[in-house]
Structure formats: structure tokens, C-alpha cells
A = this chain, B = another copy of it.
Amino acid sequence: MSDDRPSPSIAVHPDDDARLVDAVVAGGGATVPLESARALVWNSGSDTFPDQLPDGIEWVQLPAAGIEDWFTSGVIERNPNVHFTSAAGAFAPSVAEHAVALLLAGVRSLPQHLLATTWRQQELAPTVGTLRGATVAIVGAGGIGRAMIPMLAALGAHVVAVNRSGCPVPGAVHTYPVSQLADVWAEVHHVIIGAPATPATKHLVGKEELAKLKPTSWVINIARGSLIDTDALVEALTDGTIGGVGLDVTEPEPLPDGHPLWSLPNAIVTPHDSNPPQHRLTAYAERVRDNVARFAAGEELIASVDPVSGY
């Protein structure tokens, strides 16, 4: 080390995956057993998390972007003196790409095209829409939402962002505070839901909101199933209130067999695989490296968990 700070001692658990160990070292840390560590890089679910952490642990890096499980399982509450960071934002590019893929497939009417087994140009061509010139609302413009903006802009869409503060999101043509969300639905062509799951965001999209959208509007949810009222959504899809839906998350989840969303032709369901394992570790390792470097330098960590707000 070229500076005077010692390498922080960091445990990688429950496995010691080589890419995460490399990331710790690349960030300026030294990997040690849990008992002698100042920080823990966790690489599993909340169900296998230690009941009790050694007293020396100051910081725990969690591998998920959405960490409700760590709240409901009591892990956060059990360790009030530990600084938790989530991986919020680390998987943003893969999830953002998935959201754009769902929206673009829907808008260009690919699901209907895939059902065709004969050259139905006269019937299908009128169903092909475009993102060029369309206004797309990103509701919950956190890391994932912000990662979508350059993708959507390159496709010619105008992005409207909605966040808690209304502070302008770079690249968005307008940013609304969530207090004005009710005005957004009627103004936009399509909506991407990227907000965290909290009591305040439950059924953020319901019958009333869907009714304000257009018959050609696509709604994409890559956040959490609870943000959309599924029954209202099925009704809106069935009666043509909206154009279609792309869901990587559902309520209930997993979506049960026989659910109408499986057979509606204007619903694309992906089983919560917008950030599949084969993309995940690479992205998580990048975050570990960045946060270890910040920890070593005594800087603010990325994606600190707020025990009060719940994310």
C-alpha cells in the first residue's frame, strides 16, 4: 500500500468466491476470517445470514438491491450498530436493459408477431408502434431508472422522471416529485416502474392510474410486484384500457399456474430474471471493489441502508 492506512480486514461469506475475494483486494482490503474482520461481504440470502455477528463487524455489504428480506427476517434490526449497505444500483445496467427490452418489444408489438404463423402484414403492421418521440415515465428514478435514461434517449424517447424530491434527474426532460404523480399518468405514453417496495408504494399503480393511461400504453415493472394492483392490471389488459404490460416481478410471486397473465397476449412475464446469476456476480464484484475502496479511505459508502425508511 502506498498510503499510510492499513488494509481493512474483510470477510467474504458464506463462500469465499474468488471474484469477490479479488474485488476486496482490488479495493484495497485484506480478506480474513469472520471472527477477526471489520467488515463482511455477504454472498447469499437472508435465511443463511449469521444469527449473531462478531462484535468487530462495523459494516456488512449485502448482495441484493432490494432488501425487504433482510428487514422482515430481522437481520437489520438485530444489528443496530452495524452499517449495512445494499447492492442497490450495482445491477442497474442489466435490469435497465431488461426493462428497455420489455418496453421496446411491447411497443413494436413483438408478442403479437410471435403468435403469428402466417404472413399477416395488413393486420400486424398497424400494431407496430415506436419509442421515437414517445414520452416514457420512469417512476422511481433510482439507480436502475437512471441507467435506462440514456438507453431510452438513444431510441428517441423523451424521459419523464418521478422521484421523492423532484430534484432534476440528469437526462430527463422533466422530473416530478412523487406528490405530483397523479398528474403524470395522462401525460405520458408509457410507464416504467422502478420504485422500491415500501408500504407507501404498495399498489402505486391501480385501477385509477391505469384508466388515465392510453390504449397503446405499455407498463413495465422491474421493481417489485406489490407496486401494481394485479387484479386491476388484468382487467385493464383484458378490456384494452392499456396496450400491454411487461413484468419481471409479480404479485403474487411466483405467479401461480393458470393465472390470466400467463395467457393474455399483451402480457410479457419474465420470472424475476432481469438480473440473472450469470450477470450478477460480475456486477456485485464491481460494487464490492468500489465500497471496499471507500471503506478503506473512510469515505461514504454506496447504497447505505436506512433502517427507518426500509430501503
Q: Are A110 and B268 in contact (CB under 8 A)?
A: yes
In the assembled complex, the Cα of A111 lies from the Cα of B115 at a distance in Å of 10
Verify if A276 is at the interface (C-beta below 8 Å from B): yes
CB 8 Å contact bits of A269-303 with B (1 = contact, 0 = none): 11111101111000000000000000000000000
Which residue numbers of A lie inside 8 Å of B, CB to CB? 93-94, 97-98, 100-102, 104-105, 107-108, 110-111, 113-114, 116-121, 124-126, 128, 130-132, 150-151, 153-156, 253-257, 262-263, 268-274, 276-279
Which of A100, A101, A116 has its CB near the most chain B CB atoms (within 10 A)? Answer: A101
* Contact of A262 (CB < 8 Å), options: B111, B117, B153: B117
Total copies of this chain within the assembly = 2
Please give 4 more A-B residue pairs, beta carbons under 8 A apart, in addition to A101-B104, A104-B104.
Answer: A100-B155, A113-B270, A114-B114, A121-B273
A-B contact pairs, 8 of them (CB 8 A): A97-B108, A97-B155, A114-B268, A116-B269, A125-B277, A128-B279, A153-B154, A154-B155
Q: Are B273 and A125 in contact (CB under 8 A)?
A: yes
In the assembled complex, the Cα of A279 lies from the Cα of B94 at a distance in Å of 30
In the assembled complex, the Cα of A35 lies from the Cα of B258 at a distance in Å of 66
Please, which residues of chain B bring their CB within 8 A of the CB of A154?
A: 150-151, 153-155
Which of A132, A253, A274 has its CB near the most chain B CB atoms (within 10 A)? Answer: A132
In the assembled complex, the Cα of A11 lies from the Cα of B263 at a distance in Å of 51
Q: CB-nearest residue of chain B relative to A98?
A: B108
Q: Are A110 and B113 in contact (CB under 8 A)?
A: no
Q: CB-nearest residue of chain B relative to A107?
A: B101
Q: Are A132 and B262 in contact (CB under 8 A)?
A: no
Known contacts: A105-B101, A114-B268, A121-B273. The answer to whether A130 contacts B254 by CB under 8 A is no
